[in-house]
Amino acid sequence: MARSNTARKTKKSPAEAVRSEFDGLTAEQHEDLMKRLAKHKDKGIGIPFDEVLAWLRSRGTDHELPRPKARRIFHVK
């Protein structure tokens, strides 16, 4: 999925910026994304919400943070 500059250009809220990332997806792309997210969740891999929010809030500022990386955030039993 290509990175969108929507948040930077229009200064949308973080929630609006996340939603706009998904607006242009085809049904096939959306299905693929959901499958990949489920696979990561099953393995306990993700990105803490506070890190995502901080990254989104920094977009378009002079101190933009790097995109957070997925990692194991909980153990699956």
Q: What share of the chain is helix, strand, coil (3-state, %, to 5)?
A: 55, 5, 40
Whether 5 maps to a domain, the answer reads no
> Is residue 11, in this structure, part of any structural domain at all?
no
Q: 7: closest CA among 52, 73, 71?
A: 52
How many domains in the chain?
1
Domain range for 75 is 28-77
Taking the model in full, what pTM does it have? Answer: 0.53
- pLDDT per residue rounded down to tens, the chain (77 residues): 455 554 445 567 767 777 777 777 888 988 888 888 888 888 888 888 889 888 888 888 999 999 999 888 877 66
